[in-house]
Structures are given as structure tokens and as C-alpha cells.
Amino acid sequence: MNRVNSYRSIRVAKYIRLSRDDGDDRESESVENQRDIIDNYISEHEELIDSGEYVDDGFTGTNFNRPGFQKMLKDIEDGKIDCIITKDLSRFGRDHIDTGYYLERYLPAKTIRYIAIGDNVDTSKQVSDIAGKKNSGSQEIKSAAKSREKTVEISKGSEAVKEVSFEEPENKKKLAERDGQVHLTHWGSSCDISN
């Protein structure tokens, strides 16, 4: 059967970053592993066309003065890219303010789609505080927890507590619901994320 591509072809930049701080022994974050994850994703989506790979091996994610990232920006300016794909948000950047600028201002202004596979982020399907997704008590975290929740009812004095634990690739978080309020414990601190 001859299959017709009914989708618009989307030129994809594969962005891969591995910091020296990530360590050489972390296979889950290796350049090869990131490449395989992104290649598998592209192969499963017929509208995505691999247009090149941008690698910053040994560069921190706390700033954007990285040669691969800068070349990718130039190719965006030259109209060669429609979409950027990373393994997860942390590979794009770790500085909340600068990452937010690129993901919420620069890329949308250039009509560039962004996909973070491990974090289930695709800007063509959602509009939100993407840069803060992993770093705040946002509604997205609350929703992610509910989709993977394991509920344990706990009684603490007269206060009924429902605790939910879930894992993301790099972080562990715990939600606790007390008296209708939802609280997030993350990296040893907590914050209220109720509406």
C-alpha cells in the first residue's frame, strides 16, 4: 500500500547537550542515548524531517554561550529549522530566566515548535509556563502527578492526608493533599500549588 504523507514536512533540529557536571558515567544522559531517543521519536512521526544535529558536549546548561546552540540559532535566523527536539527540558537549558526567554518568547516569535520528549512538552499542543515546568509548583506538575499517581490514604491525627509520589527522569516529587489543599514537596522544600 502506498502511503501518502498528509502532513506538512517539519524540519527538525536535534539538540543534544551533555555537561561535564553530568559526568561521563551517566549513560542515561549520554550523547549517544540522547541521539537515539530523538531519532526514535522522529521515526515515529512521519511529518518530522531530520534537518541536522547540534551537539554541545561538555557545556553547562546554565548559560547559552554554547557553540552548538549558537549555530542552531543562526540556522533558525536563516530559516532552516521549524522545530527543535531535545531529550528533556534540562538538555535545552538549566537557567530558568534565559530558558524561559527562548521557549516562551524567542521560539514562538520565530514560529519554531519545541519538543522535550521526556517531559512530554510539545508547544504545538500546549501553551504554558514551559520553562518553569520542572522548577515550580505549576498546574502542569499537578496534572503530571495525577496521570501517574499511586494513592496511599494516611491518617495523621484528625487530619486526612492523601499522598502521591511520582518520578520524573531527574527529579522526585511528592504531592500531599490536606483538607482540600494540595502541597508539593520537591528537592527537600515544599510549596502550596492549590488553586
In this structure, whether the domain defined by 10-122 belongs to CATH 3.30.479.30 is answered with: no
**Residue 186: CA count within 13 A, CB half-sphere:** 21
Which helix (H) or strand (E) is 113 found in, with range? strand 113-116
CA of residue 52 relative to chain centroid, distance: 20
| pLDDT tens digits, one per residue of 17-30 | 998 765 554 545 69
Domain ranges of the chain: 10-122, 139-192
> Residues with Cβ < 8 Å from 9, sequence gap 6 or more?
47, 49
Among 24, 88, 28, smallest CA distance to 58 is for 24
Position 171: which residue type? Answer: N
pLDDT for residue 138: 36
Q: What is the pLDDT of residue 169?
A: 43
Q: In which residue ranges of the chain is pLDDT below 50?
A: 1-5, 25, 27, 135-173, 185-195
pLDDT of residue 8: 76
Between the two ends of the chain, the Cα-to-Cα distance in Å is 51
d(Cα 54, Cα 63) in Å, to the nearest integer?
16
Instruction: Report the pLDDT value the prediction gives residue 19, as an integer from 0 to 100.
Output: 87
